[in-house]
Structure 1
Amino acid sequence: MKQNSVEVIAESYPIGNTKDKVFLSLKWKISLLSSLILLAIVMLFCIVSYWGLIADFENQRDIGYKRYAREVDRLLEDTSQDLHRVAEMIPFLDGMGAVLLKGDESEIGEVFDRHWTLLQFHNGVEFVRFYNQSNQLVANWGGVESAVDNNDEVLDWVARVNHQEVPINPLVCGKSCMQYTIAPLLVEGHKAGVVMIGISLADALLAFRKVSGADIGLFVRNPNGLSNQNDDKRISQWGVRITALTNRDENRKILAKVVREYPEISKLNDGVQVKWNELYRQIKLFPLAGSVATDAGYLVVITDVTAAVNNIHELIWQIAIIGLFGLIFSGVLLYVIFTGLLSRLKDVAFTLPLLANGKFESFRSTLFSAELKKKFRDEIDMLYEAAMTLSLQLERLENEVSSRTKILIQQRDELSKERDFIAHLLDSAQVIVLTQDLSGKIISLNTYGEMLTHYTEGELKGVPFLSILDPGGGLRDLFVCFEEIRRGQKAQFRHEAITYCKDGSTRHVVWMHSRLTWYSEDGPSVLSVGLDITEYKRVEGHLAWLADHDPLTNLFNRRRFSEELEQILSRAGRYRHSGALLFFDLDRFKYINDTSGHQAGDTILKMVAGILFHAVRTDDIIGRLGGDEFAIILPEINGEGALVVARKILDHLGEVQITINNRTHKISASIGIALFPEHGNNVHDLLAAADLAMYHAKDTGRNACYLFSSNDRSLERMHTLVYWKERIEYSHLHDNFLLYLQPIMDIRSRNITHYEVLLRMRDIDGTILPPAGFIQAAEHTGLIHAIDHMVLRKAIAQAAAINQGGHHVNFSINLSAHAFNDSELLPILKQTLAYHDLDPRTLMFEITETAALENLPRARGLMVEIKKLGCGFTLDDFGVGFSSFYYLRELPIDAVKIDGSFIRNLTDSKDDQILVNALCSVARGFGKKITAEFVENEGVFSLIEKMDIDYAQGYFIGKPAPYNKFFDEKTR
């Protein structure tokens, strides 16, 4: 009976009949397959890289087109403004006012002849016409006959300007394109007619080429019907004539090629690219905005993009070549690796037939001799060991048939243990495990599933699985997926669903359903495993909420508020709605923080948020922009309505008071109001206007509201900011920022090895300006980071030069309040220290409590990173605010600098002496060094010496001066 079973197996599996099959080694199969995969990866990478480079190239091209369009518009606008200024200047020319009032043609001609040449030479004016108040031509100069072809249209313009007294600036394209200004003439407040001035666009084309670096041409569409067929400037396919073109000979040939490839001129509106003489050119057409002639004009811009296109081609070839070399190297390496490994596997394969013949001893001896060749143990060695074990087991089975029963019993016990283990695992696993039959009804449920859903296994047995899911979650699609998995069309699928619990609650569960291949007709056919992610979803939702809200007040934060304001401004511009922006901060909020602590400030901020919720409409949007700054968007409201809302808010705030630590604080605010689109049609301008209005409200005495007006002094403040912004940018460009040094003396040794770095600006006239005038403007205009970076680089370079020149000095560098929001500060500090090879221990950074107040955790983090480099920190203005002692404990401070307001009158004020002694005691208690500033006489110096203060700074020690006043010129 046993022999018959063996014969059946041999017939079913004809092991030896392989002579008709071609043998291909595994090392070749693996090497070839790996090479094909690597080749596909290299090709895919080349294609993706090419697409990416082309996309970047097209993006840069579109950006360039937009820049060209802006330059063209700006040049045309500048030309119109220049002509308008010339028109305004004419009545003030010598003798012109009197003759214009008389209106006599001969007198106007005689006087204006003296000025005509100057206007042509300096302003490029090509013709001038004078009209009286009856719209009649009085006098003209220049190419009058070529000015405009339609004299009736000119008279219409003149009549409109005479009537409305408002200048117009038509752009006319005939045989060429001319920019005109038709402006009223006013002499000592009396109307004296109209002047018409014209200028060619040729100068604008040259200016565009200087600005953009691209070639430019001027097309006039269908001038005079293009009657001259032999005109070499004519492009008949496009129906245009070239009236101006830079680099004319070469670009005329390029345009001829473009005409052949793109016969329709409309294709140039989106920009085209051609190859000419192995060079690539991009051609873009810009219609001349404001043209009033029947025949329109166009500007054509020709840009050389050869370098960019060639770079793309070269980069793709480099990627392909590198990938090919990598492919060859990888193929050879895989072949070498698998040759050695598979040779040992072949030994095992050729030795295994000995087992089939029952030659167990020969098998083991042969296998053992082959195993001796190995140096390191690997998977093939494990196969050797397994084969040796197998031979022993087979031999033992053959010699000890009686032991088979015992082995079977032992295997059954082991299977039972595994079954119990799996059952225990299913019950203890922190996932829902259930099974379904062919009809989708639940068969079993594990213990964790019972605990999570509050259903027992018996209660859910026979219940359709889909019935415990939320019907709004796409149950129809789930039904289709289950049908596919039951029919064997899909092995598994995953989905998320809201799952009902017995107690009425719901859980968010990720389900994984797998098809069981060993199921019976009545047994389970689908295994469903569910992971509860309810808590994860809750945390995810909370994080999404935090990204848009201020966690303290639950209001929108600055980012989300700016987005909402931008959307409302967009809708207001589209539907021509008006609205208002209220921007305000709380009065004396810093005083509350200093006297009652930050917890009191947080309580007040929450109360203000609650008041604002009840004081405005549901459609209004409230945000906290930072610190004690709040803002409200009031859609569809006018100025009077906005003032009513602002006063209502002030009234509600005035009704609230809070008592903390036996101190009673009343709440008030200063509110600035800006209207849109009247005061700004973008977020930046509107916030700036509201901010200026808020400062105006503060100037009027706080607890007030103010509506922004372009006619009041707020505009002057804005102009001041713009003025200082231009001065700061000019100083950056021309290196007009200077670093002064002020010495700091070690009181005990009387040595000076420490200097504070002070910033100064050299004005255009050579005047040295202190930072008080421009630092606030730099903070408002966002240039403060650039100043911080410049001071950091210059100070480190100067300190390195001084120390390398034989001196050993330390520098104290002031950080602005915005430095702790600058992600570039730390990398720049590391890079500059490494570049100049300066010991970081020679640098101290001075910060004020205002600098750290806005974001204390961020300030502490940045200070810790800087101290890791070896630099130190000094707390400036120590003792001014209540929070100074808090910062002394919370921040990694090495030294404190007592505020000069306590030191200046130290010899005459007992109160100041008591305060300074107290401040010194606190600082020494924390182990900090102490510096006294504003030491201006010997009496003050003697007192601080008795108080055991470490360092002194002030005019008595030394005034601020350039570094060469303290060190040799060679140390620069």
Structure 2
Amino acid sequence: MNLDDILALASNQTLSQLERARARRSTRRVQQEYQRAVSEGRDLIDDIDLRDPLAPDVDEAARISRAAQLAKLGTLTWVRASEELTWSDEMSLIFGYPPGTVRPSIRLLTRLIHPDDATEVRRTVEAAWRERTVKETTYRVVRPDRVTRYVHCHVEFVVDGDNRPYGIVVTGQDITEIELARQERVRLARRRETVRTELAGRDPATGLLSRQRFADEIDTASRAGSGVLLVVAVEPVAPAGGTGTDDQDRLASAVATVVRRAARRADVCGRTGFGEFGVLMHRTTLDSAAALAEAVVDGIRAQPFVVGQARLRLDAVGGLVRYQGRDETRGIDLLVDAETAWRQARESGVPCVALDQPAPADERREICRNRVRAYLADDRLTLYTQPILDLRLNQITRQEILLRLMDEGGKAHSASTLLGDAERIDEVLPIDRWVIDRTMELIARGAHTSHYQVNLSSRSLGDPHLLEHVQRSIRHYDVDPGQLTFEITETARIANLTEAHNFAHGIREIGCQLALDDFGSGYVPFAFLTYFPVDLVKVGGEFISGIQHSAANRTIVRSIVDMCRALGIRTAAEHVEDEVTMNLLRDYGVDFAQGYLVGKPKPVNTPHRPVSAPAEADYADPERGLRAATG
């Protein structure tokens, strides 16, 4: 290739903005040197000794700068002797300045580096100088137009041609796109680790859907077409001498296995209550569903169950209800109808009873109301207590009052199903009043140093007379209000937010405290903590179980604890079942722990001396009761 070819090739090559800028600066430098030579009278024709900038006898700073220029990297040089700072055209562009438009300085460089990264950059430079080595760092640059870029730099200690300390040379590259891609990969990996593959809501003992999740599945199925719902009730028999809860969970797991095996692959199974199991059969006939129901009932009756040292044969009955697609009946209402059907089967002595259609709303409501009143009238409600550990003192200082139902066999089990039905038909207030009175009686007989936490339905909070009832009961049993904390849950169901707000502040005024249960698991907005005088937040048990294996749960719990501490609210954790979890909670600053590791629920001891209940006349006349309570 001759000179003409090279010139032709150069003329066809489009120059970049950087190359054009370099050409202009080179032209200006040649013109300036020419004018200076003329003014000094120097001979403009002379031999030039060209030197290779990468030759061994050239100083390190020049070699590094030349290598960076060839690699299209920016360079920044600080000379120790003069403390002069210079940077290359490439580095100037990284910093957001057109080449030659600003004079480099330490002050300008400091202003360009993101404030959060300035300390790390300074530490890296000092380490490179002190250790006379090469260091790497990535930092953010905030350009004059306020655009932020990520820059990765090698910071090198250099010497001059005589091997004496010369200064620092930094070679940098804009890696914004690379860094953002890396951050996105990290975020996606973290999200894959923390997100759950399915909604929460499985029964821990059986792995079946919980009652609420099962009801949601019924809602979804009923909107899509017709089908049949089956609820099987198993006679709740526990082994003699057993501890109760553990044996019942093992028994429930064994029964759940029988139910799963009998159900079809497309059917949805759930644990709908204590001794209750549901099977949702979508797009099937009532006759087909009845045949499956009989197979499930016969399978449970024929299957011997071994729990501990006991060998059991259980009784079972089934209730079915057929639903039509796109009607107004909710999933929870269909559950109530199926439960009514199995109760009819038990009363009639037949394996199954089937309802051809859901019950009318008024009839269903009356059935639920009668069931709630029957539990109260038959004295089948009882109280249990579960200890709460103060993690600061490592001492049990509180007891939670738990409501339990007594079945025909004298065994106690959860009252959640009854309470759910009672809330839905606005019949939960009598139950809450019963719990309040029995708790006051318990406190009056117990140690006055104990503290008790009492659960109240959020539906009851909307009743304007609830606070008056609490005041009457406290006065009647001569209880110290400071021994009481009232727990509320499911704030989305509060019937009257104003009345609930008044109750919360009224409770605080008489000396009691207020707790929020299952925080993070329901629909409680954070704003609730600002306008309700909450003293204690109980973190939802689903975030505590298996927390040592879940980075997401650990993050959520730490965040709740930090937020509550800033708001002056104490925190408690439920479902604590191992030492690892307990130690994590201590490290996070949780105040209280509750669970099987601390202690299992136990029945309240039989009173050793009689204490009369408040007069029924006081309950019938709220104003009279209030006058008595306030003196």
Fold shared, TM-score > 0.5 on shorter chain: no
For the aligned pair, the TM-score class normalised by the smaller chain equals 0.3 to 0.5
Q: Comparing both structures, which one devotes a greater share of its residues to helix? A: 1
Q: TM-score, length-normalised on structure 2?
A: 0.40
**TM-score when normalising by structure 1:** 0.27
Larger radius of gyration: 1
Greater RCO (CA < 8 Å, at least 6 residues apart): 2
